[in-house]
Amino acid sequence: MPDATLPTVEDAVALGLTRDEYALVCEKLGRAPAQVELAMFSLMWSEHCSYKHSKRLLGSLPTEGAAVFMGPGENAGAVRVSGDLVCAFKVESHNHPSAVEPFQGAATGVGGILRDIFALGARPVAVLDSLRFGEPTSERSRYLLDRAVAGIGHYGNSIGVPTIGGEVYFEGPYETNCLVNAMAMGLATEAAMIKSAAVGLGNKLVLFGASTGRDGIGGASVLASAEFGEDDADKRPSVQVGDPFEEKKLLECSLELLRLGLLVSLQDCGAAGLTSAASEMASKGEVGLEIDLDVVPLREEGMEPFEIMVSESQERMLCVCTPERVAEVVAVCEKWEVHGTAIGTVIEDRVMRVVQHGAVVGEMPVEALVDDCPMYDLHPEKPTTPLYPAPEGSLAADAPLRDTLLALLGSPNIASRLPLFQQYDWIVQSRTVRRPGQADAAVLQLPDGSALAASIDCNGRRVACDPYVGTVEAALECAANLACVGAKPLGTTNNLNFGNPERPEVAWQLTEAVRGLGDACRALEAPIVGGNVSLYNQGVDGPIYPTPVVGMVGELPRADAAGRMGFLVEGDVVALAGWNATPVLEGSELAKLRGDALPDGLPGYDLAHEVHVLDVVREAVRSGAVSSAHDIAEGGLLVAIAECCLAGGLGADMTEIPASIDPLMVFGERKGGFVLSGPRAALEALDVPLDVFGTVGGDALRVGVAGGEAVSWTLEELAHAHAALGPLFP
């Protein structure tokens, strides 16, 4: 390599490596690294790319199942759904970029997860998003919410992929670090799917898509692998800039290249850009790659080798093809007006060799770059003092039942998300059977009349109360949402959003959450097929709530039989089904409104019982035995009933709630409970704990508990309270 001033250990530390890691790099290379090599190691050995604090934990998760077609290790996972169709899906985070520049951070988060899907050969058919912000009373949080939602809508709407569902929570611990997680789904035939391993000595590495610029340099290490501080505004140049119209061309070009059989392998350029895409392809194929930087299409003059190799410019893909196919590949790229350039060759030596102006400027063993990153053991310790302050209360503990329900319906974590979803196109591609607000899960019709359902969920405050139980609840919530539309889980993806894992209390949260996720997914027979870990979501005020977001995909035999949450039939009876234990107020939404501190632990679950209830509810929906189904979540039983009234435009008379239910317990929370409506005989035939206590009808909700005086709310009053978030989206 040409003589140059080599970077120092201080340069390595500035790039995010530790001094010991720099010494290990020198040991692996047998010398000090050159500038481009150090930049590449700093990214590939970053938390974001290597999972060095979580990889050992993730090995405990279940990854095999009857429906699994492609498990962890590729750009996304995939499950078999109908005939020879498979569904590819994955969730990823763009948290730190969104906290710095919310519009582009959220937009490129959508773009990145879509590329993960079509890198497998699947056409993206849906996006769901999972968002967390500080309290909406905060000017910063309102700004982040507004711009992140705008970015999601801009990218998804422009590229023509519907945003069919999602969730948003507002909690104080997300004030510094907002969370923007995006989940995408795609469809392909089994034969059309492709992997990313570079194989075939002498084959050519072709880069196609947008040109390479300086935007996004160091995003994986500067943004995604460190705590936030007061200089975050200076990190804006590390945020990628997206162009959905360029990605639409890239999508169609990729699928045409695959349809014509021109490619050996395909990989998207995401975090760490060319560095990660190329080195991971080489690692999976057990080969080496030589890359010529002189032919990489650049959008800026004078870019240094390290800038080209680590740029995270968006809308780029890498593929491998045989030498005789290069001209055909480039011709298809020209048709779609995307750059198509052969930039490298598959070589026998298992190295990443970077060449410029005919000279080698970097050469690193593939194993050292990808496989030999040091893995760290966590040192979990349960904290002995509370990690999070009590929330500021806004509701008196003795507030009457009538006021309490209205306050809960208008609380930021329960109020209608329709003003948010109205900024998204949820029906483009004409597959959407159940859209936001109609059912607990989104539903997409498949060509044979069957359907896919999807849900994404996690209540970080509940996980903060009890990382194990709270994560079990997140998985149960997703499965319950699927059951309410008649869908059986096929597979699961997850995004583990946590604070600094080097701190024992955060390590404990992460360890317990992964244990809970594994136990729940094994019980639900919904294996993990892929996911993402986002750590160091922590600032000067402490860590975020631990937020292991769970995304789940299920199938149902008939799209036209998909369930709804709203009451549909006047005269139907209403029942509470499923609960085998009393819900609790601790850790609930009502407790937050009252300003109660988080409890140290939550009641556990009998997972066998929960699975049985899910099976019964799912079959009742599929068979048409029930008219509506809605799971009980934030706010408890009475909030769930009010949501059923609002979704269906019908009131209900609940004056038969049994005396065994304490008045306060109608706001207690616990997974596994459902509000069902339908004919009395059909409901009473269900093999689950059941209380029938109401009738659908009228234009008001009337409730009487334990023989007390009935309280009523008109549907208009309930709707007004539920629309509290509307002013945030003028």
Q: What is the mean pLDDT of residues 216-236?
A: 53
Strand-strand pairing, 451-457 and 652-657: unpaired
CA distances from 81 to 68, 86, 123 (A): 10, 5, 15
- Confidence tier at 267 by pLDDT (50, 70, 90): very high
Q: How many CA atoms lie less than 13 Å away from 344 in the CB half-sphere?
A: 33
In 10 A of CB 622, how many CB atoms? 20
CA pair distance 460, 437, nearest whole angstrom? 22
3-state secondary structure of 603: coil
Q: What is the pLDDT of residues 235-266, one digit of tens each?
A: 445 577 889 999 999 999 999 999 999 999 99
pLDDT of 51: 94
CA pair distance 395, 720, nearest whole angstrom? 18
pLDDT at residue 226 above 60? Answer: no
pLDDT of 573: 97
578: left (phi over 0), alpha (psi -120 to 50) or beta: left
Q: What is the pLDDT of residues 320-341, one digit of tens each?
A: 999 999 999 999 999 999 999 9
Q: What is the pLDDT of residues 608-617, one digit of tens each?
A: 999 999 999 9
Superfamily of domain 75-194+426-540: PurM-like, N-terminal domain (3.30.1330.10)
- Confidence tier at 167 by pLDDT (50, 70, 90): very high
Angle at 578 between CA 618 and CA 682, to 5 degrees: 60
Q: What is the pTM of this model?
A: 0.95
**Topology agreement, domain 1-56+195-379 and domain 381-425+564-730:** yes
Alpha helix positions (H), 444-524:
460-465, 467-485, 504-524
pLDDT at residue 540 above 60? Answer: yes
- Confidence tier at 665 by pLDDT (50, 70, 90): confident
Span 381-425+564-730 CATH architecture: Alpha-Beta Complex (3.90)
CA pair distance 499, 176, nearest whole angstrom? 12
Q: Diameter of the chain by CA atoms?
A: 88
The per-residue b/e assignment along 530-548, b for 16 or more CB within 10 angstroms, e otherwise, is: bbbbbbbbbbeebbbbbbb
- Residues carrying an active site annotation: 48, 94
3-state secondary structure of 560: helix
Which amino acid does the sequence have at 14? A
pLDDT of 236: 45
pLDDT at residue 471 above 80? Answer: yes
| Listed residue (491, 500, 494, 530) closest to 514, CA to CA | 494
Where are the chain's structural domains?
A: 1-56+195-379, 75-194+426-540, 381-425+564-730
Whether 457 contacts 474, CB under 8 Å: yes
Average model confidence (pLDDT) across the chain: 93
pLDDT at residue 725 above 80? Answer: yes
pLDDT of 465: 98
Q: How many CA atoms lie less than 13 Å away from 686 in the CB half-sphere?
A: 32
pLDDT of 730: 61
CA pair distance 89, 98, nearest whole angstrom? 22
| Percent of the chain predicted with pLDDT > 90 | 88
pLDDT of 655: 77
pLDDT of 240: 78
Whether 582 contacts 665, CB under 8 Å: yes
How many residues are present in the chain? 730
| Listed residue (633, 653, 685) closest to 572, CA to CA | 653
CA pair distance 152, 128, nearest whole angstrom? 10
Q: What is the pLDDT of residues 548-606, one digit of tens each?
A: 999 999 999 999 999 999 999 999 999 999 999 989 999 999 999 999 999 999 999 99
pLDDT of 221: 47
Q: What is the mean pLDDT of residues 301-319?
A: 95
pLDDT at residue 720 above 70? Answer: yes
pLDDT of 217: 80
pLDDT of 241: 83
- Confidence tier at 271 by pLDDT (50, 70, 90): confident
Q: DSSP assignment, residue 223? A: I
Q: Please report the DSSP string for 405-435 in residue order.
A: HHHHHTSTTTS--HHHHTTS--STTS-EEE-
CA pair distance 205, 641, nearest whole angstrom? 57
Angle at 706 between CA 704 and CA 712, to 5 degrees: 10
| Listed residue (662, 668, 663) closest to 583, CA to CA | 668
pLDDT of 706: 58
Residues ≥6 apart with Cβ < 8 Å to 623? none
pLDDT of 662: 64
Whether 127 contacts 164, CB under 8 Å: yes
Q: Which two tokens stand for residue 173?
A: 């611990």
3-state secondary structure of 546: coil
| Listed residue (316, 347, 193, 209) closest to 265, CA to CA | 193
pLDDT at residue 355 above 50? Answer: yes
Residues ≥6 apart with Cβ < 8 Å to 398? none
pLDDT of 108: 93
pLDDT of 621: 98
| Percent of the chain predicted with pLDDT > 70 | 95
CA pair distance 586, 196, nearest whole angstrom? 47
Residues ≥6 apart with Cβ < 8 Å to 56? 375, 377
Span 1-56+195-379 CATH architecture: Alpha-Beta Complex (3.90)
